[in-house]
Structure 1
């Protein structure tokens, strides 16, 4: 059974989401504070987190940052929920490591579709071969979503890792933003290619210990650049 942690302080919204998710067969745990969410994650690991932005004391952005900064929870899928639909808020959420950002009010069908996409991505076994891949000083282990630069661990979100894996598996290929949205996020978000740009920017920042690795191709998209990749035995 898929377990979802819902972090939402509005009781009516909390009850509505819980009702619809349980009707779909999900197990739903609820908390109404950011600190309570982090305490919950010390004891249990849900399959996905629905995280409201406007929370008392510790807001959703701070909670997201804390989750991504902990190696035990860094790869948990996070969908942020907010009544604030400004692009700057979405960018902040994505930069902090959220996998998706849904603005209120939203339809139940939309939320369920996004949840199913994230769960599907988590369950799909894309990397059956027990190997690591290297690109210069960068090495990744697809089965465990681990990445290192010269042996030092690099904290990546699930989506950042999947982007990096795609680039390394298919070096020198140029990927447009629409393709990356479909391949990595599992569905097309019309006009929302900024999601890709934000994650690429985060990747570049985290991989700054390696020579420039992700190149922008003007008017097209992105591709990997640098030394040839190597495959190592796991």
Structure 2
């Protein structure tokens, strides 16, 4: 559109010159001269049109290249901003993970451990917090029948409130009581045995029998938690 407008302007500006030439040369001009004059004018117009077309194409290509460069620069800036945002998000994620691993997780584990300790202290099963012997590794002698002679029934009153009973021969080693207590999960490093009435610690020794430590009749023993020294 712009090139056509420019051609029109040049064409209109050439008309006065054409008219002037025709006016000057009307007396002497012939058909041949008129045709040559028109050919020159049209040749001039064609040359101007070519120059204008080439110039317009160059301007349009220059503008297109400028627009392309601008769009390319904007695309690069957008990619750069996305990369910066991605790095920031990754840094924030790593920071959050470090906070969880170094602060929140240890705090939660410590809180759970305290709650577990409090629970086992309330139920009288603090032996579960230690890393001592495993349960069920102590062999107990076979329990005698109810009609067997020289047999006593021993009841263990646990800190949790349950009472467990078992029969033993009086000739059994008194160590069997500690083995029984350990088998129930109460370790000797944390718990001890004591008589009920009168209350006194039970002196257990591997070389002493149940009768030697005073258990000659059916007896109730208390499983008591030892006082932990600082």
Do they superpose with TM above 0.5? Answer: no
Which structure is higher in strand share?
1
TM-score range, shorter chain: under 0.3
| TM-score normalised over the length of structure 2 | 0.18
| TM-score normalised over the length of structure 1 | 0.17
Which structure is higher in helix share?
2
User: Computing the radius of gyration over CA atoms, which structure comes out larger, 1 or 2?
Assistant: 2
